[in-house]
Amino acid sequence: MRTIISILFITMIAFTGISYAQDSPKVVVEKYLKAVRNNNYDEAYSYIAKTDTTIIDWLELIKYVRKIAPPKLTKVIDLAHNATKQEIVSTSVGGNTAIVKIHSMVPDMEETLRVTQDTEDIKSLLDRGGLPRKERSGECTLVVEDDLWKISKVSGVSSGQAAEIATDFAELILGKDEAKRISNKISEFGKKREEGA
């Protein structure tokens, strides 16, 4: 009898350990969002399914924009990332697929940049809670890949949107000529990615 109880106890511990070893869909999405906010793209990649191309293209474009943009622009992008507040509102799991819905409060940088382009002023607005914000809803679709939950789709995310936002920010902060230069570089980068270079 003791042997049976011991075996059942060990089996329970083993199954409990297995269930905790794998992050839930909610935890995977939270870690992904945090990695993106912190510009830690290598970590963000680890939460993306191998079948995805859209999210990877988006992350690669953000990395590229950060590389070519003047520090004044990257500071504003960083402030916008840090000001974003996201919360998971629901998670539904069905077999090997999960949907995680997210509610976001994002800074209205277009409105903010009409008032000021100075990063210290923007930071001050952020610290005082005076930064204009917009509500956004989104969702992540996750699949099981190699026994782990991985993000296969994020609604509303595309490299085209990221390029447009970067160009708009550049024009407001740096002027039309610099925005055009950045826009041209982004277009060249996009073409090279499409060609597999």
pLDDT of residue 3: 46
Residue 2 located in a structural domain: no
Residue 155 located in a structural domain: yes
The Cα 45–Cα 56 span in angstroms is 7
Residue 54 located in a structural domain: yes
Helix axes 71-83, 119-128, angle to 10 degrees: 10
Per-residue pLDDT of the chain (197 residues; tens, 9 = 90+): 444 433 333 333 333 333 333 799 999 999 998 998 888 888 999 999 988 878 888 888 888 888 888 888 888 777 777 778 888 999 999 999 999 999 888 778 778 777 787 778 888 887 787 778 888 888 899 999 999 999 998 885 544 555 566 667 777 777 888 888 888 888 898 888 888 75
Residue 129 located in a structural domain: yes
Range of the domain at 128: 23-194
CATH of the domain at 45: 3.10.450.50
Domain count, the chain: 1
Helix axes 176-194, 54-68, angle to 10 degrees: 140
The Cα 26–Cα 21 span in angstroms is 14
pLDDT of residue 107: 78
- Chain-centroid distance of CA 66 in Å reads 15
The Cα 18–Cα 159 span in angstroms is 36
